[in-house]
Amino acid sequence: MASGAYTSGLTSAMNGTSPFLTTTHKVMLVSTATPYTYDPDHDFLDAGGANDLTDAETNVGGYTRGFGGAGRKTMASKTITSNDTSNRVEWDCADLTWTALATGETLEAAVAIVEITNDAASQPVVYLDPTNIPTNGSDVTLQFASNGFLNFNV
């Protein structure tokens, strides 16, 4: 699976409904324990059925899942950069670290989200697909590429 964006979440980030630089965006972790298949047409974290992000959110010691849970890390130092040399626009933020995630799950994705009033109203924005990471009691750091976590080529 590759990384990608969610159409409705990205639209909200770009049209001013949930502007990327001024809205609180968080990152939630998704594990392989409850399978999730990325679909750019998913509009909400909790779609009320199978294959939604709330069901697939990691559930391991050291990570408090769910709406408002401490496991969902807030993106800090967000930037939007125009890269004329590479003809693209780059979205970036500071790397994120989850401390001492207990043994027991394999992380398969990180999803940038906007929490609204509950998970049924909260939007996914970007699906990030790193190499699977087994939790083993150590810290897990999501290190974004030097050219950001999302690029728009022009």
Give the burial class of 147: count Cβ atoms within 10 A of its Cβ; 0-12 exposed, 13-18 middle, 19 or more buried: middle
Across all residues in the chain, what is the average pLDDT?
A: 93
What pLDDT is stored for residue 147 in this prediction?
A: 85
Domain total in the chain: 1
Q: Does residue 98 form part of some domain?
A: yes
The DSSP element (H or E) to which 109 belongs, if any, is: strand 106-114
State pTM to two decimals: 0.94
Residue 35 belongs to some domain of the structure: yes
Q: Does residue 154 lie in a domain region? A: no
In a domain, 34, yes or no: yes
Quick: pLDDT tens for 6-54: 999 999 998 999 999 999 999 999 999 998 999 999 999 998 877 899 9
152 part of a folded domain: no
The predicted-structure confidence for 47-76, as pLDDT tens digits, reads as follows 887 789 999 999 999 999 999 999 999 999
* Alpha-carbon gap, residue 47 to 50, rounded angstroms: 8
Q: Is the predicted pLDDT of residue 1 greater than 70, yes or no?
A: no
Nearest residue to 79 via CA among 89, 66, 65: 89
Range of the domain at 124: 4-147
* In contact, 148 and 90? CB cutoff 8 Å: yes
